[in-house]
Structure 1
């Protein structure tokens, strides 16, 4: 008999504990989203310069030093800080033995240039001897206010979720309470943008005979940033 009483007490205690811990609040769960489009304002361009000979006898060499001065001058005229032009790599520039063994050896030098848009790069690269440019391409990109933009989108997504939940609760004659759970459903990575035009690198190569390179409006297509949150609200 005592055993039955003890068992009954334990059962009642368990049920009481369960009733105390169970969340009996009415809740609603919704997703909220927000998006925007931005154009990168920090674009990093890789530029490779290479020496070449002006004549067929390989005696009149256009050196890396000359080409680099042209690039530095163009960068300065464009109003870009000199620290935004960096050296990425040097190939044979100081290789005394290769130059001594082979008088026809042509040194090359790679740079990284930070610009706000491709149009300014277009102007800069057009001021450099096109025969001395081996290649140019976009190495990476960013936006100076990317962190703030992402945080703003998260807030907008949260407010969007609140509006949805409020409308649904109102339709049932209820009022929306506080947020009980907020989940950020974003992996927080950037999508590589496409380019509005692909001929930005061709300006440097356009007409090695000396004709003026045709300039064009060049820019990135806008990048879409999208954020989604999942929110659980209490309904009163």
Structure 2
């Protein structure tokens, strides 16, 4: 009986061994040959959205005696009318802050009254519109006017195009590198956005002739300022991997 069992075991082992050998056989796929490169692209655009900070403050026509005060409401109405006359919508002006200061007399050195001030942000599409607007506001009521920041209304479209150009540059680079070693470019395997940068430079004023800096007698003859702006720079770097045929 033991001999029969031993013989059966040997026969089963002989049958199963080939099957086990076939299952253990693994085909090894050779690694994909690929090339990885980076592409860079840049675009410069002139800003078409300019944001100016403007501050108005109350004052006395008779400063010595502190009489005949020009209130902030009067100055604000002048500013709003000037904006409307320039063809800009009312929404282009927004209030960014409200404050004030104590006005001191020369003799007693004590605060005689509180004068209110108001800060605004004005959005224009051209810098030369600022001079025309401020020329219609009482110059003594304008505390300051300077650039806050710049932007472009089609910035997102430009960013998309720069990314596309950077990716095309990566493909071109991979193509000519492979051609140098007699190889051909295959399908794309991977795309990664490596770096992005948008530079918003501050304006460079070649000449600032807004009314508040001009002499009172020449206020109505102030010409538009000659303002030169650096362009907004948009650049991207794209990483791509391609198959080598």
**TM-score, normalised via structure 2 length:** 0.78
Asked if the contact 1:45/1:112 (under 8 Å) is kept, the reply is yes
CA spacing shift, 1:107–1:208, aligned 2, 3 Å:
farther
Does residue 1:81 correspond to 2:89, yes or no? yes
Residue 222 of structure 2 aligns to a residue whose secondary structure is: coil
Written as runs of structure 1 = structure 2, the 5 A alignment for 1:1-236 is 16=26, 19-20=28-29, 24-55=31-62, 56-91=64-99, 104-186=113-195, 188-197=196-205, 199-200=207-208, 203-211=210-218, 212-236=221-245
For this pair of structures, how many residues does the alignment match?
215
Mapped to 1, the partners of 2:94 and 2:202 lie a distance apart of 25
Mapped to 2, the partners of 1:121 and 1:16 lie a distance apart of 76
Mapped to 2, the partners of 1:121 and 1:177 lie a distance apart of 55
Rg larger for = 2
**CA displacement at 1:103 relative to structure 2:** 5.8
**CA displacement at 1:74 relative to structure 2:** 1.1
Mapped to 2, the partners of 1:177 and 1:196 lie a distance apart of 48
Structure 1, gaps ≥5 residues long:
1-8, 94-101
Residue 105 of structure 1 aligns to a residue whose secondary structure is: strand
Structure 2, gaps ≥5 residues long:
1-19, 102-110
Greater fraction strand: 2
Work out which structure has the larger RCO, using CA pairs closer than 8 Å and 6 or more positions apart in sequence. 1
Mapped to 2, the partners of 1:205 and 1:34 lie a distance apart of 43
Mapped to 2, the partners of 1:125 and 1:185 lie a distance apart of 45
Mapped to 2, the partners of 1:198 and 1:181 lie a distance apart of 48
